[in-house]
Amino acid sequence: SPETTVTVGSQTYARDEMTNVTPHILSKVGSNLHNRKYHPLNLLKQRIRDHFYKNYVKPRGNPIFTVVDDLPPVVTIEQCFDSLLTPKDHVSRKPSDTYYVNRHHVLRTHTSAHQSDLIRMGCDQFLVIGDVYRRDTIDKSHYPVFHQCEGVRLFTERELLISKFSEQDMEGLTVFEQGPRIPAKQAPHTQDAVVLLEADLKWTLTRLAHDIFGKDIETQWVDCYFPFTHPSWELEIKYKGEWLEVLGCGVMEQEILNEAGAGNKVGWAFGLGLERWAMKMYDIPDIRLFWSQDSGFLSQFRVDDANTPIKYKPVSVHPQCYNDISFWIPDNYTENDFYDLVRGLGSDMVEQVELIDNFTHPKKGRTSHCYRITYRHMDRAVHQEEANKIHALITEAAINNLAVEVR
Ligand code: PHE
């Protein structure tokens, strides 16, 4: 029964104290926008796939990268976090940030969840494209379901060295050593290994960015941290005068490869968000548009050749209306609980939720939050009376389900 189980696609799971998936989120599972013909995410998927198919081939011309785009989004804690060396107290594991189906299963928070399995299956070069899920704020660039493309490339010592050196010059070079772990490298890697992997990774991704965003795009690399890569970087592109992060990547942690049975290889990995890329590429102003059923949106992407240049033209922009809600929060409250509640009731009529006031009473020690909810649907007008009705439902549900005290 629905009280004791959760059904996701064709699978049924036992509910437990960790379960926090909402009906709104579950209704999105299986949409597979990235596999829908003429959808902008599908066009972008084709562009990325074709880029790798065309530019990375074996001697007789067949592609080296395998593309996997149909893995279901429910994964185990082991796949999503443990296999990737994510620390037990890392924020990404918190139920305030992640959708738990139950204590053993989550909706994947990233496509990296499939790295280990695919390597164990013997894949040395692959792309994984799929829907990923994160509890998050509500605005024009965040939606709790989005899509990622993961890329992994492994090399044997010889494959890595031969890419830059002749047989004679390779003499004496190695990729493994037992050295210290320092900011520049992992303990089992040589500096030479990292230099070669870093160059190959950055070259591969810069080339991809230039293919997708155009030759003239400016790029820069920024050092960063991921539990599963070291060293790690983010790629930023200059878009409308500002630097924007478009992907994360790095040298794969050797322990992941060792555990997956590829201990004789080294590798790099990257992950990028398809919506982010598509919004820049096609000038799509709001992430909810990817879920639009409106022909005014979809018809603009009806092209048989994914390379056709497209710039999205807003069909009709409907007016916004907004309402504020203020309440005292209980002890166990997290903002994402409220955002999920709003998403569930407001559905795709809510454009943004902003925390506009966060106040702690000096004597009582209680905290009050005030949120401004902006209502606007992508495909039709929402009038103030309709917004007021939804706002009343949200207020009532916040009182009943989150135990807040409305001021
Ligand atoms: N999984 C990371 C994310 O979702 C991206 C990433 C993938 C980073 C692979 C490094 C290597 O943010």
230 lines ligand 1 (CB under 6 A): no
Query: Which is the closest atom of ligand 1 to the Cα of 247?
Result: 5
Which residue is associated with the tokens 């070069």? 125
pLDDT above 90 as % of the chain: 86
Amino acid code (one letter) for 268: W
229 lines ligand 1 (CB under 6 A): yes
Does 321-406 match 5-289 at the fold level? no
112 lines ligand 1 (CB under 6 A): yes
Q: Residue 133 — φ and ψ, nearest 5°? A: -135, 130
pLDDT tens digits for range 66-100: 999 999 999 999 999 999 999 999 999 999 999 99
146 lines ligand 1 (CB under 6 A): no
Residue spans per domain, the chain: 5-289, 321-406
CB 339 within 8 A of CB 135: yes
112 CA distance to ligand 1 centroid (A)?
Answer: 6
Q: Of all protein residues, whose CA lies closest to atom 4 belonging to ligand 1? A: 110
CB 298 within 8 A of CB 292: yes
pLDDT tens digits for range 359-373: 999 999 999 999 999
Please report the ipTM that was assigned to this predicted complex: 0.99
Q: Of all protein residues, whose CA lies closest to atom 9 belonging to ligand 1? A: 270
Evaluate if residue 347 carries a pLDDT over 90: no
Evaluate if residue 294 carries a pLDDT over 80: no
Full DSSP string of 308-343? S------S--PPPEEEEEEEEPPTT--HHHHHHHHH
Q: Of all protein residues, whose CA lies closest to atom 6 belonging to ligand 1? A: 271
Burial of 174-199, coded b for 16+ CB within 10 Å and e otherwise, reads ebeeeeeeeeebbebbbebbbebbbe
400 CA distance to ligand 1 centroid (A)?
Answer: 37
Query: Which is the closest atom of ligand 1 to the Cα of 268?
Result: 11
Average pLDDT along the chain: 95
C-alpha 159/C-alpha 125 separation (Å) is 13
CATH class, range 5-289: alpha beta
pLDDT tens digits for range 143-198: 999 999 999 999 999 999 988 888 888 888 999 999 999 999 999 999 999 999 99
Task: Give the model's confidence band at 380: pLDDT under 50 very low, under 70 low, under 90 confident, else very high.
Answer: confident
C-alpha 299/C-alpha 308 separation (Å) is 14
- Residue 185 neighbours by CB under 8 Å, 6+ apart: 179, 191, 193, 194, 230, 231, 251
269 lines ligand 1 (CB under 6 A): yes
Asked if the 321-406 domain carries CATH number 3.40.1670.10, the reply is no
Which residues, listed in sequence order, are joined to residue 392 by a DSSP beta bridge? none
Task: Give the model's confidence band at 316: pLDDT under 50 very low, under 70 low, under 90 confident, else very high.
Answer: low
